[in-house]
Amino acid sequence: MVSQKVTIINPSGIHARPAGELAKVAKLCNSEVMLLVKDRALNAKSVLNLMAAAVRCGTEITIQCSGETEKEDLKRIVEAIKSGLGEAGEAYEGNQS
Amino acid sequence: MKEIRVSKKASEGIAVGRAFLVERDILVPVEYAVEEVQKEGECKRFKQALLDSAGELRALSEKDEVFAAHLEIVKDETLFDGVCQKIMDEGKNAEKAFWEIMEDYIAVFQSMEDEYMRERAADILDVRNRIMEHLKGRKKSFLSDEGDKVILVAENLYPSDTAFLDNPRVLGFITQKGSMTSHISIMAKNRGVPALVGAEGILEEAKQDDLIILDAGEGRILINPDEGTCRLYREKKRQEALRAEQYLSSLSLPACTKDGRRVKVYGNAGNLEEVKRAVAAGMEGVGLFRSEFLYMEKNHFPTEEEQYLVYREGARLCKEGITIRTLDIGGDKKLPYFSFEEEENPFLGWRAIRISLAMREVFKAQLKAILRAGSEGKVRIMFPMLISLEEWEKAMAVIEECKEELKREGKAYKSHIPVGMMIETPAAVLLAEEFAKKADFFSIGTNDLTQYILAIDRGNKKMASQYDYFHPAVLSAVQMAIQAAHNEGIEAAMCGEMASDERAVPMLLQMGLDEFSIAPSQYPKVKYLIQNSFFHPHE
């Protein structure tokens, strides 16, 4: 099992659209992908779980991958979150203001 | 008083009544126990609802990204697993199991501190409703027979909503979306129910029980009008009623001009019920049977046998016969069970005869059904959207093939059925002389003809005022088609909106039009106009 901490940069947090994007990326991974938010563990492949967790902008979360391809998968997820989950432009504006 | 202007007139007339908002509430599902042996089937049923929802959302997501997120929710494995677990472990039906799981999620969202996130519950609700609709079939609000007269206001009305039109309380309807050629619009016209579609903003402006004046002929909707306006409209309605009475006075006399030329006045119909309406109105034949509605109301391509029964009944009902237009889909008419490729210009794309010639088996099932019905009554075949003689020859070859097959199968059919065509493309007008040598009759479809001659999309709001069949180019095309028909000794009919326009009827008579095929509700008016016009005004 490997894990890494990352901060959510989406201005409105992980709402419907970024949650959908994250779940999509997670589904491409062979390993089990969990998000640790505060005291909760979420299945990253479930968009409903992600949305229900209401992860806000600026929250630091831990990504946990376990499986044969855990290293590549972890890298993939971290990159997706860092790049704003399809909301890069909006995230940039959010940071400026 | 608020006013909304609408360019899409589904059906003319004035109605004054209270707004009845048609809401598509999803009701809390009933719980029932699922037997052990049925549990797997129940999971499958839920899976199918997910697949159907996903299919819809995939198409929607191309236009609006929010649906891509909805699609992800539908594809969420934990959702499917969770529902199946409830079905397997607790023996709950799919609706109930699904409902409970969604309730949990909705509760989580609604309790969130962040307002933005709280609003996300709407996404979940939207997805839930979509899946639920697929699971249960569409649900509509209920309108009892008793009470004030109402005008229906809805986002859209579907073929399954046509029951509303039979309710004596319903005076007319307004939809925010929808097209004039949709099933419900055509039904409204056939029944003489005033209706406007594509009324943007109506759902925001009209509240339940608001007083509404619907002047469909003028494309006006007045919400909570003042007393003066109400008086004005009451007077307008009274005048309309007087005119209607006048039209009825000579209904039993033949459709003869003042100088003695007799023409045919037939009905347009989309199903057997509408054929019956035409016959009940006094019409002796159907000049346009829109067979596509048979296809649109089913969940599969109707079989030869299914179609045969409908056409046979249609032929039996009509003393002077029924003209069956072969499948005319594409453009704005889609089938629920067949996926059409997205097209840049659907009206210039894969539609009508083009589809029939490409889907030979579907075409053959229809032609065989018509040929068989021909042995028990007067039927005529009509091809839509032709642009070339080559298409004509190909379609005729399929008819011959069908006859051969019917002969081999030992089924009774009529070998000499009149075969005609719609004149609705500029190409057909320009080649009318040639087509007239082949076809047994023409029927001018002015709705599409106007759109194609003028290069104006008939649904385009900005161009609505210029979409006009009185444009000299359209009139000239109509004249050319009639002339070409008469030169070859065949008859020319017209089955578009123009044929029931009171400004057009006298002129069409002078052009020599032989048959008017119109909505049954327009019959008294058109007949009266014919009886009071001349074929040769100066002789």
Query: Mean per-residue pLDDT for B259-281?
Result: 94
Asked if B107 has any chain A CB less than 8 Å from its own CB, the reply is no
B362 sits in which H/E element: helix B360-373
Q: Do A51 and B79 touch (CB under 8 A)?
A: no
Q: Do A17 and B65 touch (CB under 8 A)?
A: yes
Strand partners, B215: B14, B220
In a 13 Å sphere around the CA of A46, the CA atoms on its Cβ side amount to 17
Asked if A56 has any chain B CB less than 8 Å from its own CB, the reply is yes
**At B122, which CATH number?**
1.10.274.10
**At B398, which CATH number?**
3.20.20.60
Q: Is residue A94 part of a domain?
A: no
Looking at B197-284, list the stretches that DSSP marks H as alpha helix, in order from N- to C-terminal side.
Answer: 202-205, 227-248, 272-280
**At B200, which CATH number?**
3.50.30.10
Q: How far apart are CA B176 and CA B310, in angstroms?
A: 33
Q: Do B123 and A16 touch (CB under 8 A)?
A: yes
Q: Is residue A83 part of a domain?
A: yes
pLDDT value of residue B116: 65
Higher pLDDT: A81 or B31? It is A81
Q: Is residue B258 part of a domain?
A: no
B307 in the same domain as B196? no
Query: Mean per-residue pLDDT for B301-318?
Result: 95
Q: How far apart are CA B493 and CA B504, in angstroms?
A: 14
The parent domain of residue B11 ranges over 2-24+141-244
Please give the positions of B annotated as active site.
183, 495
Residue B122, amino acid: A
Q: In this complex, which of A16, A48, A56 lies closest to B76 when CB atoms are compared?
A: A48
Q: Which residue of A has its CA nearest to B67?
A: A17
Q: Is residue A82 part of a domain?
A: yes
Q: In this complex, which of A13, A15, A48 lies closest to B73 when CB atoms are compared?
A: A48
- B435-473 pLDDT tens trace: 999 999 999 999 999 999 999 987 777 787 788 999 999
pLDDT value of residue B198: 87
pLDDT value of residue B123: 77
Q: In this complex, which of B77, B112, B123 lies closest to A45 when CB atoms are compared?
A: B77
Q: Which residue of B has its CA nearest to A23?
A: B72
Q: Testing the interface with B: which of A17, A35, A47, A59 to mutate, by most B Cβ within 10 A? A: A47
Mean pLDDT is highest, among B67-71, B123-127, B327-331, B504-508, for B504-508
- B358-373 pLDDT tens trace: 999 999 999 999 999 9
**At A55, which CATH number?**
3.30.1340.10
Q: Do A47 and B117 touch (CB under 8 A)?
A: no
Q: Is residue A97 part of a domain?
A: no
Domain count, chain A: 1
B164 in the same domain as B40? no
- A49-76 pLDDT tens trace: 888 888 888 889 999 999 999 999 999 9
DSSP class per residue in B146-209: SSS-EEEEES---GGGGHHHHSTTEEEEEESS--TTSHHHHHHHHHT--EEE--TTHHHH--TT
Contacts of B204 (CB under 8 A, 6+ apart): none
Asked if A94 has any chain B CB less than 8 Å from its own CB, the reply is no
Q: How many CB pairs under 8 A join A and B?
A: 60
Quote the minimal CA–CA distance from B442 to chain A in Å: 54
Q: Testing the interface with B: which of A48, A55, A59, A85 to mutate, by most B Cβ within 10 A? A: A48
- pLDDT band at residue B140 under the 50/70/90 scheme: very low
B280 in the same domain as B197? no
| Residues of chain B with C-beta less than 8 angstroms from the C-beta of A49 | 78
Q: Do A16 and B109 touch (CB under 8 A)?
A: no
- Counts for chain B of helices (H) and strands (E), in that order: 22, 16
- pLDDT band at residue B119 under the 50/70/90 scheme: low
Asked if B120 has any chain A CB less than 8 Å from its own CB, the reply is yes
pLDDT value of residue A92: 40
B128 in the same domain as B176? no
pLDDT value of residue A96: 36
pLDDT value of residue B183: 65
% of chain B with per-residue pLDDT over 90: 60
Domain count, chain B: 3
Q: Do B120 and A45 touch (CB under 8 A)?
A: no
pLDDT value of residue B352: 96
Q: Is residue A36 part of a domain?
A: yes
pLDDT value of residue B233: 92
Q: Do B79 and A19 touch (CB under 8 A)?
A: no
- B208-219 pLDDT tens trace: 889 999 999 889
Q: Do A52 and B79 touch (CB under 8 A)?
A: no
CA-nearest of B385, B356, B358 to B452 is B385
Q: Which two tokens stand for residue B36?
A: 């052990």
Q: Is residue B77 part of a domain?
A: yes
pTM for this entry: 0.64
Q: How far apart are CA B204 and CA B213, in angstroms?
A: 16
The parent domain of residue A33 ranges over 2-87
Q: Is residue B251 part of a domain?
A: no
B177 in the same domain as B59? no
Q: Do B120 and A16 touch (CB under 8 A)?
A: yes
B268 sits in which H/E element: strand B264-269
Q: Which two tokens stand for residue B50?
A: 């997910």
B64 in the same domain as B42? yes
Query: Mean per-residue pLDDT for B336-346?
Result: 81
Q: Do B69 and A56 touch (CB under 8 A)?
A: no
Residue B512: pLDDT over 70: yes
Q: Is residue B20 part of a domain?
A: yes
Q: Which residue of B has its CA nearest to A86?
A: B65
- pLDDT band at residue A97 under the 50/70/90 scheme: very low
- Please classify residue B509 by burial: count the beta carbons closer than 10 Å to its beta carbon, then call 0-12 exposed, 13-18 middle and 19+ buried: buried
B351 in the same domain as B432? yes
Q: What is each CA distance from B116 to B109, B111, B129, in whole angstroms?
A: 10, 12, 21
pLDDT value of residue B19: 93
Q: Is residue B539 part of a domain?
A: no
pLDDT value of residue B11: 85
| Residues of chain A with C-beta less than 8 angstroms from the C-beta of B73 | 20, 47-48, 51
pLDDT value of residue B484: 98
Q: Is residue A92 part of a domain?
A: no
Q: How far apart are CA B508 and CA B265, in angstroms?
A: 13
B211 in the same domain as B301? no
pLDDT value of residue B125: 78
Higher pLDDT: B343 or B267? It is B267
Q: Which residue of A has its CA nearest to B124?
A: A48
B470 in the same domain as B342? yes
- pLDDT band at residue B538 under the 50/70/90 scheme: confident
- B141-177 pLDDT tens trace: 567 777 889 999 988 776 556 667 878 899 999 998 7
Contact map slice: A 13-52 vs B, CB within 8 A: 13, 15-17, 19-20, 23-24, 43, 45-49, 51-52
Query: Mean per-residue pLDDT for B226-239?
Result: 91
Q: How far apart are CA B227 and CA B205, in angstroms?
A: 19
pLDDT value of residue B27: 57
- B55-84 pLDDT tens trace: 988 888 886 677 887 888 899 988 999 999
Q: Do B72 and A24 touch (CB under 8 A)?
A: yes
Q: In this complex, which of A24, A45, A54 lies closest to B117 when CB atoms are compared?
A: A54
Query: Mean per-residue pLDDT for A83-94?
Result: 60
Please give the positions of A annotated as active site.
15
Q: What is the mean pLDDT of chain B?
A: 89
Q: Is residue B497 part of a domain?
A: yes
| Residues of chain B with C-beta less than 8 angstroms from the C-beta of A13 | 114, 116-117
Q: Do B69 and A47 touch (CB under 8 A)?
A: yes
Q: Could you say which of B106, B136, B166 is where a domain stops?
A: B136
Mean pLDDT is highest, among B202-211, B306-315, B463-472, for B306-315
Q: Is residue A96 part of a domain?
A: no
- B17-44 pLDDT tens trace: 999 988 765 556 778 888 888 899 999 9
Q: From the centroid of its chain, how far is CA B294?
A: 11
